[in-house]
Structure 1
Amino acid sequence: MELELFQTLGISLGLGLLVGLQRQHDQSELAGIRTFPLITMFGTISAYLAQDFGGWVVAAGLLSLAGLVVVANLMRSKGPYVDVGLTTEAAALLMYAIGAYLALGSGTVAVAVGATVAVLLHLKDTLHNLISRIGQRDLKAIMQFVVISLVILPVLPDDTYGPYNVLNPYNIWLMVVLIVGIGLSGYFAYKIFGQKAGTLLGGILGGLISSTATTVSYARRTKDSSNTSSNLATLVIFTASAVSFARIITEVAVVAPGTVATVAPPLAAVLLLMLLLGAVMYFFKRDETDKMPEQENPAQLKMALVFGAIYAAVILATSFAKEQLGSSGLYMVAIVSGLTDVDAITLSTSRLMQTGNLELNNGWRLILVAALSNLVFKAVLVGLLGNRSAFSRIAVLFGIVLVAGLLVLWLWPEEFSLLSSLTAQ
């Protein structure tokens, strides 16, 4: 029951923040980024109280809030210098409801909501400064993600269709939401730190948003030696690729948490090697700086539809290969899909492992093969778009990782994977 309450209040808070963000961006004088979350949570608490005391509680709360709005507007109409806000009034109403719920409902939930109110009130300047840095393009990205996650996802059917009965529109779009969410977090981190983010941070953000796009951008920049050096471009591209391995492990943990003990260690071994190589590069080239290229909005509906189509195609190809071609066919799918988008094969393989339709030892190998295939593809991009110096450096680094990855595929003991699975259980 408490989990359900937290989920409901979390959604209430999120919706309040969303509407408050939009109103704050439009410089509303009545209510903004802090007031709307307080109002929505006040309504939620009132509704829960009404379950025990009757619907008049909700009506009384609505009348109280309406009275505050009327009074605020009357005061504002008296002169241009009246600064009227509803934050204190809304907070007072909400804390009244929390106090009542603390005695009549769940104390844990009441304490958590009360602490949230305190934090919202304390972060006034921080939240307002953050909103002031959000432009029209950034607001559009947020609204597009809302459409993708809160408008499209809930209406999709949660049933399987098509050949092999493996295409589930809800699950496919849920993976789209996950990937877009990861990219959007990197995008806003980039907006916070700005174009002057350090080399290492630039690579990390690039890996969160898109390591392939980062590779293309920095490879092109090496054509002009006065813009970006080959050493710096190599470090950023390699860092972004290392982050993509961490991203793969995160995706597996989210989609198939029961497989992490078996799947994560071999992938983490390759990631550790990349981190060591990246640390050595950074130590020798840490004095070089450059501006991070402008990043595209990852929440565009067109991009989401393209990824959804790729993910569905990978699911179909994997099911076909598994039934018609056996293990060799699965590896061919991993190689081909990994060339363009390693996320799709990672997510589809993770779901197969989670449902028991694919052995874990085969699953992590498919994911690693796709990741290594993606490294080869990015090396080719650097060779085609960058200068010879950048390509030679990337070829050496990616070559070391490729050899190490192949050794992991060949020599990783299955006994270790079995032990990890037993330990997790």
Structure 2
Amino acid sequence: MVDPSTAPFVEVIGHLALAFGIGALVGLEREQSESGGTFAGSRTFPLIALYGALVAGFFPEFFPLALAVLAVPLTVAYAGKVYYERDIGLTTLVAALLVAVLGAITMHSSRGATVAIVVGGGVTILLSVKDPIHEFADRIEEGERRASAKFILVVLVVLPALPDRSVEALYGLNPRFVWLMVVFVTGLGFVAYVLGRILGLERGIAVTGIVGGFVSSTATTVSMAEKTVQNETLYHVCAFAVVTASIVMFPRALIEIAVVNPELVPSVVLPLGAMTVVGAVAAGLLYWRTTAEETVEPDELDNPFRLRPALLFGIIFAVVLLVSEYANQWLGASGVYATAFFSGLADVDAMTITLSQLAAEGEVTSSVATTGIVIAAIANTAVKAGLAWALGSKRLGKLVTIVLAAVVLSGVVSLGVV
């Protein structure tokens, strides 16, 4: 806690200035919004933030009372807004109370100040994207809403109930960790899905490839391959989408590694980064070769918040985790690499998280984990080329294979450097 009676004067002023800045940031957004500052705007919000900061800094024991006192004039102003403008929206009222809390958090500690900055920025962004969020909500069908609600409910109910320890009956697996990774991987796909729905996939084939890579690169590859069978002249633009979806897998893997085992990131960043760069350059050349007439209508992506695929991934992940651990004990690194290859044919996420976790526990070395992750990524990349050959036109298969072969080669070469 920043104690104004003992902390340096400059430090206290700095925290107060930070609170003022957060309030001003939110206030400017509210001033420019539809409310036009009739309820609270660019002057009121900084004052509310300072109010919260000063009370929390000098009279912390009275902060709950101060927050309740602040709620009184805010409620009166809100009632007047409803009466005169016939607008019952609670957004600005809630934002004002939150800004008071954020102002108080800035006085808590240096970490509290950092949290206040992050949350304040997030609140500002959330407030500023009102129209896109409403448009996205309007586009969601009833079935998607029910599926998402069921998934979230299961997550909230199941996750806290699972034991956070190794269970002998499950061969030493930690049920909560397995389910947490299911939620994490599904959440990555859902974020991309929401982004795609907000932006609209029709805005460009690049968006289709990137979003498709996070949601399901395999589904994107199959879709694009089928389109070249219907119209072979689209093989350039479809190849671009397939390559883009395929290379998104590499930064996605880096995100997963950074969450599960940040210390492994320096080892994998070179091979996965090289594969990403080579793939991005190739995708750029493919896009440059397309013409304005070469456009495709992307298929609708499925909502990743569905229970059955999530449970399937959980089973795959648990099996891969067990097999990898025993393969390492019985066969050493060669067993891990074989498991990585066969697992990568179906799913890269399971192997990426598995090896990251095993490296964090000291079961395998960073070198073995890095090589295994790259092998899994290479195997999955080969599957994309195979799908392009099997389901698409010969031109698509040939073009995708050449590009992805260059991507794979860059990964192999960079492994030698590591």
Q: Which residue of 1 aligns with 2:191?
A: 185
**2:134 paired with 1:131:** yes
Q: Flag the 1:69–1:161 CA change in 2: closer, same or farther, 3 A.
A: same
Match of 1:252 among 244, 251, 257: 257
- Where 1:273 maps in the other structure, the secondary structure is helix
1:368 to 371, 374, 380: 374
Q: Is 1:155 aligned to 2:161, yes or no?
A: yes
The answer to whether the 8 A contact 1:187-1:298 is kept is: yes
Q: Is the 8 A contact 2:222 2:387 kept in 1?
A: yes
Q: Tell me which residue corresponds to 2:20.
A: none
Partner of 1:268: 273
User: Are 1:240 and 2:245 counterparts?
Assistant: yes
How far residue 250 of structure 1 moved from its aligned partner, in angstroms, is: 2.3
Q: Distance in 1 between matches of 2:121 and 2:328?
A: 54
Contact 1:157/1:170 (8 A) holds in 2: yes
Is the 1:160–1:167 Cα contact (8 Å) retained in structure 2? yes
Cα distance, 1:202 vs. partner? 1.8
Question: TM-score if structure 1 supplies the norm length?
Answer: 0.72
Instruction: Say whether residues 1:281 and 2:286 are aligned partners.
Output: yes
Shift of 1:406: 4.1
Give the share of equivalent positions with the same residue, in percent. 32
Letter in 1 for 2:348: V
Q: Distance in 2 between matches of 1:391 and 1:337?
A: 23
**Alignment gaps of 5+ in structure 2:** 3-44
SS at match of 1:222: helix
Q: Which residue in 1 is equivalent to 2:298?
A: 292
Deviations 1:315-364 (A, max 9, x none): 11112211222322222211111111011011101111122111111111
Residue 83 (structure 1) aligns with? 87
- 1:71 is displaced (CA, Å) by 10
1:305 CA drift (Å): 0.8
Return the alpha-carbon distance in structure 1 between the equivalents of residues 163 and 222 of structure 2: 37
- Which residue identity lines up with residue 195 of structure 1 in the other structure? L
Deviations 1:378-415 (A, max 9, x none): 22222222222222222222333344444445xx14xx
Residue in structure 1 matching 2:340, options 307, 322, 334: 334
* Residues 220-245 of structure 1: CA deviation (Å, up to 9, x unaligned): 1222017x711211111111111112
> Scaled by the length of structure 2, what TM-score is found?
0.74
Tell me how large the CA RMSD over aligned residues is. 3.8
Q: CA 1:344 to 1:158, structure 2 compared with 1: closer, same or farther past 3 Å? A: same
Task: Provide the secondary structure at the position in 2 that maps to 1:293.
Answer: coil
Query: What amino acid sits opposite 1:387 in the alignment?
Result: S
* Distance in 2 (alpha carbons) for counterparts of 1:264 and 1:220: 34
Unaligned runs of 5+ in 1: 3-37, 418-425
- Give the Cα separation in 2 of the matches to 1:372 and 1:247: 14
**SS at 1:292's partner residue?**
coil
